[in-house]
Amino acid sequence: MTEDASQRGETRSTGSADNRRRQFETLVQAHSAELYRHAYWLCGQDALAQDLVQETFLRAWRSLDALRDAAASKAWLATILRREHARLYERKPMPSTDIDELELHDEAPGPDGRGENAALRAAIARLEPKYREPLVLQVLGGFSCAEIAQQLEISESAVMTQVFRARQKLKELLDGDGKEVAHGLR
Amino acid sequence: MDCAEFQRRLGTDPNALDADMRAHASGCAHCTRALAQAQALERRLVDALHVPVPADLVARVLAASRVDLEAVPAVAPPARIASAQAGVRPLRRARRRQGAWLALAAAAVLVVALGLTHWRANANSLPALAIAHVVAPDEHDALGLKTPLPRADVEATFAARGVHLVAAPPADVAYVAKCAIGGTPIVHMVMPESGGPVSVMYVPGARERASESLRRDDLVARAVPMERGALVMVAREDRAFGAIENAWRNAIEGPQGAAIGEQ
């Protein structure tokens, strides 16, 4: 290879790495907020949600070449996030103290129970994960039932049933005694 | 469409109204009310789910990722092997050469796989995760703190992580917080030492087989196994690590390695 050809090859390589890095940073810019909210409703903790987002993006970086369709990046990242969250439970069960201290208290600082949404947030937190997660994916992520079914690896009809029941349960929790709306994700 | 079907589809997705649903609602006062209520709840639901995002999240993710990103080479597209070989080689020679290439390729794959495995293990090691946590922008302020915290604050933070200290913690803890690294809850502290601040993290439940050190970003990190967790220390120099490890081993496990009061 001539020196010129070698230099051209090096430039292409550097350019490719730069493009890859830019693509990654664009993903971080575009999807961090939504991923954080998704993570927050998965785990109920601000710091843990931030770490999950970080882990998600690290894994995304390593597999960036697998992302062929930029339009699919949201679903792709959501899937990585769910796996990262599941991995937490594979490593070790979450300590019960963490469940008790989830940052969903009405008076607690942080991105949670303050303001007029406090009761609804507490009610969402009380939903069983099998109801909460598809609801979050639908309302927050804007995914269709078919897309959610694909992500959660369940049938579309099961997703439809779960989001229906999630809304029913939220109404019951909001209409019922306020004491019923306890703190902490279920 | 009847009312039951309308309600079922409304509850599944109040924002997905098709012509059939609109037609039914226009002629049914009960379902019109239900539609209005469902859409009102949906608006509240959207607001409630949109919890505030930490202002520095993007910067934090990018900063913390940088440690990792620099360790990962961009994956080059697979090189195309030029196959044009002029002339026809004898079959045995061709096969022997093909075998040699295959062996070479297999060896290369093995080397790359072992390298990646090693890198991944390294990138996810406690020292690497601890350094990534310490260099995050929102952790910088903690490193400047010097005033010792009350012992009760330190004990309470450990207790919140399910760990009861069996002896007094070191007196010079200037920062203590419940944090997480790699998705694992930890107690994060800063101890101002003469050679500079040392970030100390206790990781309950961590299973480290042996001490592990890592030097990165002008920082050195050391993770040491403890009876029911691991202690990770990060600083510009490791001079104080031994004394800090002993002090925390004493506080967590007791002077003689007594039973820990972990829950």
Inform me whether the pLDDT recorded for A114 exceeds 70: no
| Residue % of chain A over a pLDDT of 90 | 20
Q: Is the pLDDT of residue B64 over 90?
A: no
Label residue B68 by pLDDT band (50, 70, 90): low
More confidently predicted of B168 and B254: B168
Q: Using a CB–CB cutoff of 8 Å, tell me whether A125 touches chain B.
A: no
pLDDT of residue A139: 92
Phi-psi region for residue A66, left (φ > 0), alpha (ψ -120 to 50) or beta? alpha
| pLDDT at residue B231, as a whole number | 95
Q: What percent of chain B has pLDDT over 90?
A: 24
The whole-number pLDDT of residue A5 equals 46
pLDDT tier for residue B113 given thresholds of 50, 70 and 90: very low
- Indicate which of A11, A21, A25, A50 best probes the interface with B, i.e. most B CBs within 10 Å of its own CB: A50
Cβ-defined contact of B53 to A61 (cutoff 8 Å)? no
Residue B183: name the closest of B134, B120, B129 by CA: B129
pLDDT band at A178 (very low <50, low <70, confident <90, very high): very low
How many residues in total does chain A contain?
Answer: 186
Amino acid identity for residue A27 in this structure? L
Q: With an 8 Å Cβ cutoff, are B38 and A28 in contact?
A: no
Distance of alpha carbon B131 from alpha carbon B148, whole angstroms? 23
pLDDT band at B11 (very low <50, low <70, confident <90, very high): confident
Q: Is B261 an 8 Å CB contact of chain A?
A: no
Q: How confident is the model at residue B205 (pLDDT cuts 50, 70, 90)?
A: confident
The pLDDT-based confidence of B129 (bands split at 50, 70, 90) is confident
Percent of chain B clearing pLDDT 70 (strictly above):
71
Write the ipTM.
0.77
CA dist., res. A182 & res. A168, Å (int): 18
Nearest to B193 by CA among B172, B179, B212: B172
For residues A12 and A46, the model is more confident at A46
pLDDT at A81 over 60: yes
Among the partner-chain residues A57, A120, A164, the one whose CB lies closest to the CB of B11 is A164
Model pLDDT for residues B146-190, shown as the tens digit of each residue: 889 999 999 998 988 889 999 999 999 999 888 888 777 889 999
User: In the structure encoding, which two tokens stand for residue B153, read together?
Assistant: 């604050």
Bigger pLDDT: A90 vs A154: A154
Q: What is the pLDDT of residue B244?
A: 95
> Lowest-confidence range among A65-69, A179-183, B255-259?
A179-183
Q: Which of B51, B62, B131, B208 to mutate to test the interface with A (most CBs of A within 10 A)?
A: B51
> Residue A182 pLDDT > 50, yes or no?
no
Please write the tens of the pLDDT for every residue from A51-69.
Answer: 889 888 888 887 777 777 7
Between these two residues, B115 and B204, which has the higher pLDDT value?
A: B204
Reference B156, options A11, A101, A156; nearest CA is: A101
Q: For residue B235, which of B159, A47, B243 has the smallest C-alpha distance?
A: B243
Tokens 């008790």 label which residue? A100
CA A155 – CA A161 distance, rounded (Å): 10
Instruction: Kindly report each contact of residues A33-38 with a partner whose C-beta sits within 8 Å and lies 24 or more positions away, as own/partner.
Output: A33/B53, A33/B57, A34/A74, A34/A140, A34/A141, A35/A77, A35/A78, A35/A81, A36/B53, A36/B54, A36/B57, A37/A136, A37/A140, A37/B49, A37/B50, A37/B51, A37/B53, A38/A78, A38/A81, A38/A136, A38/A137, A38/A140, A38/A141
Mean per-residue pLDDT, B130-150 = 79
Q: Is the pTM of the predicted complex or chain greater than 0.95?
A: no
A156-175 helix and B29-49 helix, angle to the nearest 10 degrees:
90
Assess whether pLDDT exceeds 50 at residue A150. Answer: yes
A43 compared with B110, residue with greater pLDDT: A43
* Residue of chain A whose alpha carbon sits nearest to that of B55: A33
Q: Note the pLDDT of residue B116.
A: 41
* Rounded-to-integer distance, Cα B204 and Cα B159, Å: 11
Average pLDDT, chain A: 74
Q: Do B204 and A53 touch (CB under 8 A)?
A: no
Looking at mean pLDDT, say which of A30-34, A175-179, B177-181 comes out highest.
Answer: A30-34
Give the CA distances from residue A69 to residues A27, A65, A72, in Å, rounded to whole numbers and listed in that order: 12, 10, 5
Is residue B108 scored above 70 in pLDDT? no
pLDDT tens column, B78-88: 222 222 233 33
Ramachandran region, residue B257 (left: φ > 0; alpha: ψ -120 to 50; beta: rest):
left
User: How does pLDDT run across B216-243, given as a tens digit for each residue?
Assistant: 878 999 999 999 899 999 999 999 999 9
